[in-house]
Structure 1
Amino acid sequence: MALDIARLEQDLARGLAPIYLLLAEEPLQAIEAADAIRAAAREQGFLERTVLDLTAQSDWGPFEAAIRDRSLFAERTVLDVRLATGKPGKTGGDHLKAYAGDPQADLVLLLQLPRPDRDMRRAAWFKALENRAVVIHARPVPPAQLGSWIRARLQKNGLRITDPALALLVARVEGNLLAARQEIEKLALAGVTEIDETVLAEATTDSARFELFALAPTALRGDVRHTLRMLEGLLDEGQAEPLILWALARECRLLVQAMERKAAGAPDREAFQGSFGDGQKALRQAMSRLDLSAARGLLGEAARVDRVIKGQENGNARQGLLDLVARMAGRPLTRPEPALNSQRV
């Protein structure tokens, strides 16, 4: 059953399904949907949780053990499986397909996947789960609806905002829901109830700290020195390395997609779909100095850093992030690795 993400909490209140298939296209929507499912499970007596990060190369024995090797008196459990590549391989696919045919009554499977491509949707394991699971597609908020989304969030926090201030906030976050949530949280902590442009500037501007979502556009504009300073600042502040990488990889994907669409003859409106404001300007500047092979190489390097962060490859994650932003700015710190055109982060 496909379920609109806006109806998730209402559906959870009626009871839990045995399987949830969470298609994590937009990070914040996916994070909040997963949190809601786990919270509902705790309230309904599923007090244990097993988390597995799996790939096609993983040993799927722990998955089978989490399902089968459970005592008669074991606590009801949430099995939280993250399949970041969306490719379980034959062994993993067989396990998932088998479970879809025989889910356990005292276990909730939460399977988190990236946005499904055509190959994933055609896979037998995906079809089997899709037929049995509640499917939640965490999509980006369309640009035309972002203002309403932000206003509704502010209202939940008891805040009202003027139309000009809302337009300014929409432009500032540039479609990034994580950035929008960050700004809303700062406003909620500011002790105000009515937000106009002056209040917005005072409550959300902090020149002493570097904003996560300004990092990738600064790199793509070619300002290597400022980019490296920004990244050092974020890391020193304790910003999570996976979140930094997500923000960088997102812009690298947008860059590759825009270049591929332009090469296929797409008009600008279609080519730059998903980018806004200063972020789109930065993409255009990067396209003026990079070819498609180099852009794909950036995405490949982001995939390598992702493996380092996850412990799947040796290396220094901090140095990998520094080198990635330097390459995005056009001044690599180390020799580039071969492009991994098919990798996704």
Structure 2
Amino acid sequence: MAVDPGRIDQSLRKGVAPLYMLLGEEPLQTIEAADAIRAAAREQGFDERTVLDLSAQSDWSALDAAVRDRSLFASRTLVDLRLATGKPGREGGERLKAYAAAPEPDIVLLLQLPRPDRDMRRAAWFKAMESAAVVVHARPVPPERLDGWIRDRLTRHGLRITDEALQLLAARVEGNLLAARQEIEKLALAGVQGVDLETLAEATADAARFDLFGLSAAALRGETGRALRMLEGLLDEGQPEPLILWALARDARLLVQALERRAAGANDREAFQGSFGDQQKALRLAAGRLDVARARDILRLAARVDRVIKGQEQHGDARQGLLDLVARMAGRPLTVADPVLNPEGA
């Protein structure tokens, strides 16, 4: 059964299916469809999640292990299987075909693939999965539907927009949905309700001062001093710490995903799926100097800073933690003692 990404929520409310095949042609719709499936699975009792990044060179017994070796206390599991290359090889193809013929009742298998080419569609494993799974093809939004897509997103944030401003915003993002989402988020953060040409220009000017996204990009590019100054400015001007952390953690997560996909054999186009423009350029620079282990350390630090901000860590300073997180993303950890990385008693 095929489901449009825009209607995936309606389908999920009826219950999650045993198999999903997500074809990731457009990055934002791919990310959001995967998030929706994972969230619905959690809500419906699939509390355990196993993530597998596999390729033709991988040991596909990992899939059997994920299906077989489940926790006694979380028997319902979501297996998030990412095949960035779209090529499972002979062993992987046979295992996928066999699984499609007899899915496990207490497992939701989410198979994430890139845009399917002719060879992929001809493969026996693909045909087997296509017949058994709910297929979600995340295609680009056609140009004639982009204005409506942007207006709908603005409405979800409680924002109204004039036709002239909508045309300008659509022209600015040039069909890139991730760029559109970023612009909409900036407008929402600006605290406006109605968007006209003047408001759009003012929000853009404000974004130059309060640029959460620019902070993360500067850190990833290795511009340590500039990134730390930007962070100090954001904090001094009253930007909420959770919001700053959200922007940093988002790009740290994208960096980990890109490095893991590379390690699984994906090319750069596939590895950096989900990022665009200056953000992707910055991620590529960071990926050139950081390995998977160090990138995961950055993500773990972000999680610890989150606990400090929420008061779940007894020791630690959120501001210092954010400073060290930015410095580590830039590849230049602070030399001062860090109460977040080294809390008392840790």
Q: Give the structure-1-normalised TM-score.
A: 0.64
**Residues in 2 aligned to 1:118 and 1:310: alpha-carbon distance in whole angstroms:** 34
Q: Aligned partner of 1:133: which letter?
A: A
Identity across aligned pairs (percent)? 62
Question: Which residue of structure 2 lines up, in the alignment, with residue 48 of structure 1?
Answer: 48
TM-score normalized by structure 2?
0.63
Report the CA distance between 1:204 and its aligned residue: 2.8
Give, in whole Å, the separation in 2 of the partners of 1:303 and 1:55: 21
Amino acid corresponding to residue 48 of structure 1 in structure 2: E
1:27 aligns to what?
A: 27
Alignment of 1:249-268 (within 5 A): none
How many residue pairs end up in the alignment? 247
- Change in Cα spacing, 1:180 to 1:244, as seen in structure 2 (3 Å) is farther
CA distance in 1, matches of 2:52, 2:129: 18
Q: Does residue 6 of structure 1 match 2:24?
A: no
Q: Which runs of 4+ in 1 moved over 6 A?
A: 243-246, 302-310
1:178 aligns with 2:175: no
In structure 2, relative to structure 1, the CA distance for the partners of 1:307 and 1:95 (3 Å cut) is farther
Q: Is the 8 A contact 1:210 1:233 kept in 2?
A: no
Q: Closer, same or farther in 2 for the Cα pair 1:233/1:73, shift >3 Å?
A: closer
Report the equivalent of 2:102.
102
Q: CA deviation at 1:117?
A: 0.3
- 1:156 equivalent in structure 2: 156
Gap change, CA 1:148 and 1:133, over 3 Å in 2: same
Runs of 5+ consecutive residues of structure 2 not aligned to the other structure: 231-247, 262-267, 278-282, 294-346
CA drift at 1:74? 4.0
Matching residue's letter, 2:34: A
Match of 1:120 in 2: 120
| Alpha-carbon distance in 1 for matches of 2:127, 2:161 | 44
Indicate how the Cα distance of structure 1 residues 142 and 54 shifts in structure 2: closer, same or farther if over 3 A, else same.
Answer: same
1:190 maps to 190
- Is the CA contact (8 Å cut-off) linking 1:210 and 1:230 kept in structure 2? no
Aligned residue identity for 1:85: T
Go from structure 1 to structure 2 and tell me whether the alpha carbon gap of 1:304 and 1:123 turns closer, same or farther (over 3 Å shift): farther
Q: Does 1:131 align with 2:131?
A: yes
Say if 2:48 and 2:74, in contact at 8 Å, map to a contact too. Answer: no
Q: Secondary structure at the match of 2:208?
A: coil
- Whichever residue aligns with residue 163 of structure 1, its letter is D
Structure 2 counterpart of 1:8, one-letter code: I
Specify whether residues 129 and 18 from structure 1 end up closer, same or farther in structure 2 by C-alpha distance, changes over 3 A only. same
What letter corresponds to residue 120 of structure 2 in structure 1?
M
1:277-296 alignment runs, 5 A limit: none
Distance 1:136 1:72 in 2: 31
Going from structure 1 to structure 2, the CA distance change for 1:118 and 1:71 (only over 3 Å counts) comes to same
